[in-house]
Amino acid sequence: MIEGLYQALTLSTLLWLTVGVMIGMIVGTLPGLTATMGTALLVPFTFALPTGEGIAMLGGLYVCAMFSDAIPACLVNTPGTPAAMATAFDGHPMTLQGRGQEAIVASCFSSALGTVFGAGCYLLLAWPLMAIALKFGPPEFCWLGVFALTIIGSLAGDSILKGLGGAAIGLLISCVGISHGNELSRFTFDIPPLQGGVSLVAGLIGIFAIPQVLSMVSELRRKEFIAEYKPKSGETLKTIRKVMEHPWHVLRSSAIGSFIGILPGAGSPIAALVSYNEAIRWAKDKSQFGKGDLRGVTASEIANNAAAPAAMIPLVTLGVPGSSPAAVIAGALMLRGLNPGPELFQNDGALVYSFGWSLLFAGIVTFILGSLFAPLLVRIIRIPLRLLAPLIMLLATIGAYAIRNNIFDVYIMLGLGVFVFLVKRLGFHPGPIGLGLILGPIIEPSLIQALYISDALGVGKVFFTGTINISLIVLTIVSVGLVAWSRRKDAIQERESTSAKS
């Protein structure tokens, strides 16, 4: 491990790592350019470099993109990658209150914390954590998805029914296309491009960016800018202190992010959502969540960054990548004739460890660059709305197209965007719809597989035995119960206060 540290600490490794981080900054900021696409575009350039430097650059890009996707999420309410959806819930309200710089600096610092924690897990606990993660089979994944759905309770706004409705719409949209396992077409209405399903990235851009643009246009007469912004000096230190006021919160978010990152197939978006939900559950004062609570931003950003190095753990221990960018990095290694997995760990342990250290340093470099650029980045909100709205529209369109080079995805994005803009006026929140879109591909295949396994072993044994299953079920019931209880309490209080007034 120490040998790996020496390898990672060379000037050229740090230099290429920084280049990767800078590219990641751009990739993450632009909606539609995901970390997967960024790393894939960068792979050919890394062949000119030695292996250690090459994968350090790819890792730097991945880590930084998990931070910079928070920039558009906070400033213009459009997550740069699916992993930043939960960041927008509190980050954008903060911007609207003139706390844009605080939100960006907090994201950046949280990302660094999360990355260092995740990389620490990679360096110290890769094998034992992987052994636990392997206990997650189809029924466990299914329950994890169901548990993550309980976040609706925190996202739904005034009506829990509309929240459930929104999530149902999202889940249904995620079912479009050829089904998992038995190759049947669903909801395709004989439109061939729908066979491939609705792209998650294009869908999320539609749900978040388009309604944002439309409401900017409809507010043009009343508002010239998104929000006020005055650069403040000393903001960085002040924000760091604020984040560190909640050490237990930081630790919890890091642990959740790292563990969910290790589960093959779950990834950063789920890590951020579960962490956000837990942040609300454990907070004493829940009233400010969704209205600009700093802890909402840090919960999401710590977790989605911790998940990035953690997603490399199944790659180096089992030879199975834990996320799509990890898969691209696996491909880059295989092209060099290396077989990522237990074999590589044995034959070239120094390389495996130096990669872990590189990921850790990438978090630190991300923080340095991010906090330096934060005052500049926040100025995006000083672009007049009449310029900003078409600019976001342009970026959204290019992003939706670029994800699969398919114009049909642009139509889907526009259609969903207009739909969400309209239902928003009926009190639906885009959050639950996005949640359904993200969780559908986790819940559905695992549910189907678990049901097949039930044919052999029985439903009760598959779904309702095992520590993990039981824990997730209990957590789900407790979550639902707590939401129902607190909503009832709020309703009674409100009734009392209105009757007191009259």
Q: Which parts of this chain interact with other proteins (CB under 8 A)?
A: 26, 29-30, 33, 40, 44, 133-138, 177-185, 188, 192-193, 195-197, 264-265, 314, 318-321, 324, 327-328, 330-331, 334-335, 337, 339, 341-343, 376, 379-380, 382-383, 387, 391, 394-395, 398, 401-402, 404-405, 445, 448-449, 452-453, 455-457
Q: Measured between alpha carbons, how far is 268 from 264 in angstroms, rounded to an integer? A: 11
Residue 188 burial by CB count (10 A; 0-12/13-18/19+): exposed, middle or buried?
Answer: middle
Q: State which residue, 14 or 437, has the beta carbon closest to other proteins.
A: 437
State the minimum distance, in angstroms, from the CB of residue 129 to other proteins.
13
Among the listed residues 494, 483, 471, the one whose alpha carbon sits nearest the alpha carbon of residue 144:
471
Q: State which residue, 26 or 160, has the beta carbon closest to other proteins.
A: 26
Angle at the Cα of 391 from the Cα atoms of 389 and 396, rounded to 5 degrees? 95
State the minimum distance, in angstroms, from the CB of residue 192 to other proteins.
6
Q: State which residue, 188 or 476, has the beta carbon closest to other proteins.
A: 188
Element (H, E) at 186: strand 185-186
State the minimum distance, in angstroms, from the CB of residue 138 to other proteins.
6
State the number of CA atoms in the 13 A half-sphere of 322 facing the CB. Answer: 32
In contact, 273 and 151? CB cutoff 8 Å: yes
Q: Measured between alpha carbons, how far is 375 from 371 in angstroms, rounded to an integer? A: 8
Length of the chain: 502
The 3 state secondary structure assigned to 434-465 is HHHHHHHHHHHHHHHHHHHHHHHHCHHHHHHC
Q: State which residue, 244 or 334, has the beta carbon closest to other proteins.
A: 334
Q: State which residue, 270 or 299, has the beta carbon closest to other proteins.
A: 270
Q: State which residue, 86 or 388, has the beta carbon closest to other proteins.
A: 388
State the minimum distance, in angstroms, from the CB of residue 200 to other proteins.
12
State the minimum distance, in angstroms, from the CB of residue 370 to other proteins.
16
State the minimum distance, in angstroms, from the CB of residue 420 to other proteins.
24
State the minimum distance, in angstroms, from the CB of residue 225 to other proteins.
10
For 234, which DSSP code? Answer: T
For residue 314 the two structure tokens come to 């199944």
Among the listed residues 101, 441, 46, 44, the one whose alpha carbon sits nearest the alpha carbon of residue 267:
441
Q: State which residue, 63 or 176, has the beta carbon closest to other proteins.
A: 176
The set of residues, in sequence order, having a beta carbon less than 8 Å from that of 323 and lying 6+ positions away, is: 261, 267, 268, 307, 308, 311
DSSP states of 254-319 as a string?
HHHHHHHHHSTTTHHHHHHHHHHHHHHHH-S--TTTTTT-HHHHHHHHHHHHHHHHHTTHHHHHHS
Q: State which residue, 134 or 160, has the beta carbon closest to other proteins.
A: 134
Among the listed residues 325, 317, 224, 320, the one whose alpha carbon sits nearest the alpha carbon of residue 269:
325
State the minimum distance, in angstroms, from the CB of residue 298 to other proteins.
26
Amino acid identity, residue 33? L
3-state SS assignment for residue 185: strand
State the minimum distance, in angstroms, from the CB of residue 315 to other proteins.
9
Amino acid identity, residue 307? A
For residue 57 the two structure tokens come to 């650059």
Q: State which residue, 112 or 380, has the beta carbon closest to other proteins.
A: 380
The set of residues, in sequence order, having a beta carbon less than 8 Å from that of 107 and lying 6+ positions away, is: 67, 70, 71, 74, 87, 91, 297, 298, 301, 370
Could you give phi then psi for residue 234, rounded to 5 degrees?
A: 75, 5
For residue 54 the two structure tokens come to 């090459």
Q: State which residue, 217 or 338, has the beta carbon closest to other proteins.
A: 338
State the minimum distance, in angstroms, from the CB of residue 84 to other proteins.
18
Q: State which residue, 168 or 318, has the beta carbon closest to other proteins.
A: 318
State the minimum distance, in angstroms, from the CB of residue 100 to other proteins.
13
Pairing relationship of beta strands 185-186 and 177-178 according to DSSP bridges: antiparallel
State the minimum distance, in angstroms, from the CB of residue 163 to other proteins.
28
Q: State which residue, 240 or 262, has the beta carbon closest to other proteins.
A: 262
